[in-house]
């Protein structure tokens, strides 16, 4: 699980918890941190920081990556872009190549991170990622739409999130 917000009260963290809660039992989620890596710097390639090594090892080991991102100024947060850039280099070791990835995101606004996700798709296309088909934009209408533990009272939202997790599992199984 990659959550591209660092806020304790993040609605995207809540969304990630909901995906985990309602996903099939066969999935085990690890939350991979991205905030301990320096900005990408080619000069560090000779001796990659431990945090970068840990990040790339985690992505490499994962059967699939679920990316839950806010939208910042109609794009993805720098936190996520930096992590993607580290993972993409050196090109021969690009961890995103053939990696199954599902994306979603939440924002209080009406379009629920749609533009950020379009940017993310564009980035992942050049990296050869296997992106789950379909779209999942979450408009976080009320602050309690998803509880901190991921539980969702609204049946239609709960069904949507459950279906997202099921499709992610199906794709992982099909590609493994």
* Shortest distance (Å) from residue 4 CB to ligand FNR: 8
Token pair in block for residue 27: 């999935």
Residues of this chain, 98-127, that bind ligand FNR according to CB under 6 A: 107-109
Query: Can you tell me the distance from the alpha carbon of 107 to that of 109, in angstroms, rounded to the nearest whole number?
Result: 5
Q: Give the residue among 76, 80, 174 at the shortest CA–CA distance from 130.
A: 174
Shortest reach from residue 148's CB to ligand FNR, in Å? 12
- The one-character DSSP state at 176 is -
Residue number with CB closer to ligand FNR (81 or 169)? 81
The site string for ligand FNR over 57-76 (x = CB under 6 A, - otherwise) reads: -------------xxxxx--
Largest interatomic CA distance in the chain: 51
d(CA 156, CA 51): 39
Q: Is 148 in the site for ligand FNR (CB under 6 A)?
A: no
Contact positions vs ligand FNR (CB under 6 A): 5, 7, 10-12, 70-74, 107-109
């Amino acid at each position: 699980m990659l959550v591209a917000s660092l806020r304790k009260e993040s609605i995207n963290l809540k969304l990630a918890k909901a995906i985990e809660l309602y996903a099939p039992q066969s999935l085990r989620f690890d939350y991979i941190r991205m905030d301990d890596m320096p900005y990408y710097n080619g000069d560090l390639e000779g001796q990659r920081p431990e945090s970068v090594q840990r990040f790339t090892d985690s992505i490499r080991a994962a059967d699939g990556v679920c990316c839950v991102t806010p939208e910042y100024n109609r794009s993805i947060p720098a936190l996520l872009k930096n992590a993607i850039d580290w993972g993409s280099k050196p090109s021969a070791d690009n961890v995103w190549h053939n990696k199954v990835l599902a994306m979603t995101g939440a924002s209080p606004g009406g379009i629920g991170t749609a533009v950020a996700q379009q940017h993310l798709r564009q980035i992942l296309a050049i990296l050869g990622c296997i992106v789950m088909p379909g779209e999942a934009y979450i408009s976080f209408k009320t602050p309690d739409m998803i509880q901190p533990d991921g539980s969702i009272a609204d049946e239609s939202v709960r069904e949507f999130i459950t279906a997202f997790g099921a499709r992610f599992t199906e794709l992982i199984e099909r590609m493994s």
